[in-house]
Every structure is written in structure tokens, then in C-alpha cells.
């Protein structure tokens, strides 16, 4: 069965960095686009970033552009989110989500359980 398991969340002071990981299993990882979606406490869902099946192209929400980088290692079935220059407003649960389209241009049919990132001094 499809599984997505995020890790790497925690408490970090403003301005610091954190790298999230999402390990996938149960499907052909290298055939799917992958996304990161976040949810601030008590708020709605916010799309963060997408990466193509081959890792060659990524795209970002304006709120994280220039600070976050999405990448993937298809040999490890893992997608990453490198988060730099973190701000208090980046505090959220971060979910990875599978997109059945190889260019990440479709809906999200499977989600991980999420990992909490808290940016606080």
C-alpha cells in the first residue's frame, strides 16, 4: 500500500534552517510528481512546492520562494524540503503529498501524516 512518512520537523529559532524528508513506499516513486503542503495551527491548507518526477523542475509558493528548496532522490524514494531563513509564519504542519501526474499537475491522492515545524526563539 502507498505510504508517505515525513520526518525532520522540530523547534527552530527564526533565521535558522531545517530540512524535511518524506520517504515513499508502495508505488513507483520515480513516476510521480510530489508536493509539500502546509497548515498553520488552526488554519487552512497552503500549497508550498512541487517537483517533477525526475527532479528537474520545481516550483514554489510566493511565500517561500527564494528560501525553500524542494528536491528528490529517486534512488531513495525520498523527497526533501530544505527550509532556510525560517520565519515565525512558517510555523505549520508540513505534509508531503503524491501527485499521480509525473509533472505534478494533478490532484493529491495520498498524503503523509505530517511533521510539525515550530519557528520560535
**Selected binder of another protein within 30, 114, 116, 118 (CB under 8 A):** 114
Q: Is beta strand 58-60 parallel, antiparallel or unpaired with respect to 115-119? A: unpaired
What is the 3 state secondary structure string of the chain?
A: CCEEEEECCEEECCCCCEEEEEEEECCCHHHCEEEEEEECCCCCEEEEEEECCCCCCEEECCCCCCCEEEEEECCCCEEEEEECCCCHHHCEEEEEEEECCCCCCCCCCEECCCEEEEECC
One symbol per residue from 22 to 61: x for binding another protein (CB under 8 A), - otherwise; what is it? -------------x-x------xxxx--x--------xxx
112 touching another protein, by CB under 8 A: yes
CB of 88 to another protein, least distance (A): 21
117 touching another protein, by CB under 8 A: no
Stretch that binds another protein, among 20-28, 69-77, 83-91, 101-109 (CB under 8 A): 101-109
62 touching another protein, by CB under 8 A: yes
Q: Which residues bind another protein (CB under 8 A)?
A: 35, 37, 44-47, 50, 59-62, 95, 105-114
Amino acid at each position: 500500500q502507498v505510504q508517505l512518512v515525513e520526518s525532520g520537523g522540530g523547534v527552530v529559532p527564526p533565521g535558522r534552517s531545517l530540512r524535511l524528508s518524506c520517504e515513499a513506499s508502495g508505488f513507483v516513486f520515480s513516476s510521480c510528481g510530489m508536493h509539500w503542503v502546509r497548515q498553520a495551527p488552526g488554519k487552512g491548507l497552503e500549497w508550498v512546492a512541487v517537483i517533477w518526477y525526475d527532479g528537474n523542475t520545481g516550483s514554489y509558493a510566493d511565500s517561500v520562494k527564494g528560501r525553500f528548496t524542494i528536491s528528490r532522490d529517486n534512488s531513495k524514494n525520498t523527497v526533501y524540503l530544505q527550509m532556510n531563513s525560517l520565519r515565525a509564519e512558517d510555523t505549520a504542519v508540513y505534509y508531503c503529498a503524491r501527485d499521480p501526474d509525473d509533472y505534478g499537475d494533478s490532484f493529491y491522492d495520498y498524503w503523509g501524516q505530517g511533521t510539525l515545524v515550530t519557528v520560535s526563539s
